[in-house]
Amino acid sequence: MTYQIRNIRTEEWEDAMALVWRTFLKYEACDYEEEGVRSFLDFITDERLKKLHMIGEYPVMAAFCDQKMVGVASMRSINHISLLFVDSDYHKKGIGTELVHSLKELVAADGRRTSLTVNAAPYATEFYHKIGFTDTDRMCTKEGISYTPMEWTFASFTGNPTD
């Protein structure tokens, strides 16, 4: 399978957030109370987030297979993975790992950080562990969203294209 990873264009924002929402509903919403689902939806539909993307303050990368968007990853605060979602038909094909690699390249190019952090959803913790992230704290819940804080340094990344 061949796919291309690139920054999304402004006109692709809604498609990217729709993919995120569909995937969230399928795999993660079941782990959250109504408050968490509402908090997540509020986050991805916030116009301020889109405006930050438009001015280059909120990078969003997407994976495309035959022109179809199949994965989305974003980053805030220079080195914190904010979103990482892959369409269910494309799981276990290395797309999530490649999206993380793309975010790593952004962090490396910026030069101000030597690690990536993420607040991993319960569904995603195994994936993040598999590609070299380590827990920095126990699972916690904020605004109804449960997550495990994690980090990896550039030296520890062990992503496998089959993840």
pLDDT at 6 over 70: yes
Contact between 62 and 12 under an 8 Å Cβ cutoff? The reply is: yes
pLDDT at 162 over 70: no
Can you give the pLDDT at residue 112? Answer: 76
- Four-residue CA torsion sign, 123, 119, 21, 74: negative
Can you give the pLDDT at residue 84? Answer: 98
pLDDT tens digits for range 48-104: 999 999 999 999 999 999 999 999 999 998 899 999 999 999 999 999 999 999 998
In this prediction, residues 109-118 reach a mean pLDDT of 85
In this prediction, residues 36-44 reach a mean pLDDT of 95
Q: What ranges make up the beta strands (E) of the chain?
A: 4-7, 60-65, 68-76, 80-86, 115-120, 134-135, 140-142, 145-153
Can you give the pLDDT at residue 11? Answer: 96
C-alpha 129/C-alpha 152 separation (Å) is: 9
Can you give the pLDDT at residue 22? Answer: 97
**How far does CA 64 lie from the centroid of its chain?**
15
Strand 145-153 and strand 134-135: pairing? Answer: antiparallel
Q: Tell me the pLDDT band of 155, cut-offs 50, 70 and 90.
A: low
Among 90, 103, 162, 109, residue whose Cα is nearest residue 131: 162
